[in-house]
Amino acid sequence: MNFEQMIQEIRSEPLLTLLSSVRCEETEPLNIHATKAGSFDSSISQGLPFALPRLGDVVEIQGPPASGKSHLLYLLMFICIIPTTHASISLGGWDKVVLLFDTDASFDLVRFERLLTSHLEAALNTNTSTVQQLVKRSLKNLHIFRPASSIQLAATLLCLPSYHHTKLPDSEIGILAVDSMSAFYWLDRFTAEQLRATNAPGVKEPNNPLQHVITALQRFHRTHRPLIVLTNWGLTSTQSNVGIDRRGVPTYRQHLNPPPALFPDLEADSPPVHSFRLPLTLHITLSMSPVQQFPVDISLDDACAQECPNPSTICQILGVVRSANSSQTNQFTLNIEANRIDASITVSSPTKDH
């Protein structure tokens, strides 16, 4: 092999991309257990061939409306923005920046602060002014954007490197979250149909507006390698045997076209266009706990006690985790309370996708 052939076989990449990849390999995964949010992290990691999210991963959270997608995102954001330690006490945080794209305009800062305060109080076992100082410090790591269309979302994503350089020169971006990727779904469908109708014969069909968002996400993921978390609506559940697991948690068809992220093993057997998707690391499906029918002769008090045995729990969410590195799935329960989010693994054993 001559020198020219050796040079051709050496893969070239920008220095920033290489440094971002090295940084991601050295980053510890999110430690939800360290913030007293339940045993979600340790239970999932035991006996399963995949790790919890870390920098460079791509996570999709899918489910129907009011299924806890935003609250699970809150839980991940807590760990990213809180300090690593305080007064020699480990808080398990990353002390990094979260960039939240609130496309649904549904982010509740008051509730987010209340839940964050509760988590820090549990971690420090105190409710003194120290907690309020940590809350204020942590919230400085939260930056919220509210684009009004997919084009605005894509344009803002493309400007993030400049925003990072000018507004956050001494901070590292830990999480880039879009809640939700489906917010402009109907508007994008209408736009695509209008463009298709006015397109001259023989002219290449214009890109769906969502394609620009995916391209911008890819570019930022390649250069900065944050943990990317995308929430997505679950509109249509699959009706096959593999579409519903043993606890009745459905899976949902991907309604976004093009899909923002795919598992790498799926990309290999797909058309070349799928190589332009984000490499999905974890897919989490959420669903409300099924409501049992009451007997005809049950009293109102008995019905209330049976429906909500724990008065502090607002709702209980069932979740299924799928990983790019395994054919197994695992299930967990997300209890959403007035001042707390508790994620715990279920007792049931992991299942296999077929």
Q: What is the DSSP letter of 105?
A: S
Burial class (CB in 10 A: 0-12, 13-18, 19+), 158: middle
pLDDT of 42 = 41
Percentages of the chain per state (helix, strand, coil), in multiples of 5: 40, 20, 40
Q: How far is CA 38 from each of CA 50, 196, 246, 336, rounded to the nearest angstrom?
A: 19, 50, 23, 12
Which residues, 6+ apart, have CB-to-CB distance to 157 below 8 Å? Answer: 101, 213, 216, 217, 219, 220
d(CA 69, CA 286): 7
Asked if residues 150 and 101 have their Cβ atoms less than 8 Å apart, the reply is: no
Q: Are 188 and 208 in contact (CB under 8 A)?
A: yes
C-alpha to C-alpha distance for 328 and 10, rounded to whole angstroms = 36
Per-residue pLDDT of the chain (354 residues; tens, 9 = 90+): 555 554 455 445 555 554 445 555 555 555 544 444 443 444 334 433 335 688 999 999 999 988 999 999 999 999 899 998 887 788 878 999 999 999 999 999 999 999 999 989 988 887 788 999 999 999 999 999 999 999 999 999 999 999 999 999 999 999 999 999 999 999 998 888 887 777 766 656 666 889 899 999 999 999 999 999 999 998 887 754 444 444 456 788 888 888 898 887 644 444 444 456 899 999 999 988 766 677 778 888 877 776 665 555 567 888 888 888 777 788 888 888 888 887 665 544 445 554
* DSSP-assigned letter for residue 46: T
Give the CA radius of gyration of the chain.
22
pTM more than 0.75 = yes
Under 8 Å between Cβ of 39 and 33: yes
How far is it, in rounded angstroms, from Cα 238 to Cα 220?
32
The tokens describing 117, both together, are 């305060």
